[in-house]
Amino acid sequence: MAILFSFIIPHKNGDIAQLRRCLDSIPHREDVQIIIVDDCSDASVFDVGELKKLQDACTEIYWLETGVGPGGARNYALDRAKGEWIFFVDADDYYEKENLKRLLDLCTHSMADVVYMGYQVIADGQKKVNLNGYEEDGDRLYDLDDCERDAYLDAFYPWQKCLKRSLLNSQNLRFDELYLSEDRILALEALLSAKKVERFSSPVYNYVIHENSLTTSKPSYERTKGAVGVAIETNRILKRHDKLRIYRDKTSQRYLTILNEYNLVDYWCFILKEIWFLGWAFAMEDREYVCMCRGYKVNLLMQFVDEIRVKAGFLRNRLR
Q: Does 217 score more than 80 pLDDT? A: no
pLDDT for res 238: 85
Q: Residue 257 — pLDDT band, cuts 50, 70, 90? A: low
Predicted local confidence at residue 256, as pLDDT:
55
**Strand blocks (E) in the chain:** 5-11, 32-38, 59-63, 85-88, 94-95, 114-123, 126-128, 142-143, 161-164, 197-208
pLDDT in tens, 60-87: 999 998 889 899 999 999 999 999 999 9
Question: What's the pLDDT score for residue 274?
Answer: 57
Among residues 157, 30, 24, the alpha carbon closest in space to that of 87 is found at 157
**Distance of alpha carbon 184 from its chain centroid, rounded?**
8
pLDDT tens track for 258-307: 555 555 555 555 555 555 555 544 444 455 555 555 555 555 555 555 65
Q: At 151, is the secondary structure helix, strand, or coil?
A: coil
Average confidence (pLDDT) over 200-214: 80
pLDDT at 211: 60
What pLDDT score does 111 carry? 97
pTM for the model stands at 0.78
* 299 against 39, higher pLDDT: 39
Q: What is the DSSP letter of 189?
A: H
153 closest CA partner among 266, 239, 269: 239
Residue 216 has pLDDT above 50, yes or no: no
Residue 96's SS3 state is: coil
**What does the alpha-carbon distance between residue 107 and residue 5 come to, in Å, rounded to a whole number?**
9
Span 97-144, pLDDT tens digits: 999 999 999 999 999 999 999 998 887 777 766 556 566 766 799 999
Beta strand residue intervals within 100-256, DSSP E: 114-123, 126-128, 142-143, 161-164, 197-208
Residue 133: closest CA among 67, 83, 199: 199
- Over the stretch 159-193, which tens digit does the pLDDT of each residue have? 999 999 999 999 999 998 765 566 888 999 999 99
pLDDT band at 43 (very low <50, low <70, confident <90, very high): confident
Would you kindly state where each structural domain of the chain is located, as residue ranges?
A: 5-208, 221-319
- Tell me which of 1.10.3720.10, 3.90.550.10, 2.160.10.10, 3.90.1720.10 is the CATH number of domain 5-208: 3.90.550.10
Q: Tell me, what's the pLDDT at 139?
A: 79
DSSP 134-149: S---TT-PEEP-HHHH
pLDDT tens digits, one per residue of 221-243: 566 566 667 777 787 888 888 98
Strands 85-88 and 126-128: unpaired
Among 153, 254, 224, 137, which residue's Cα sits nearest to residue 194? 153
Cβ-in-10-Å burial (0-12, 13-18, 19+) of 172 comes to exposed
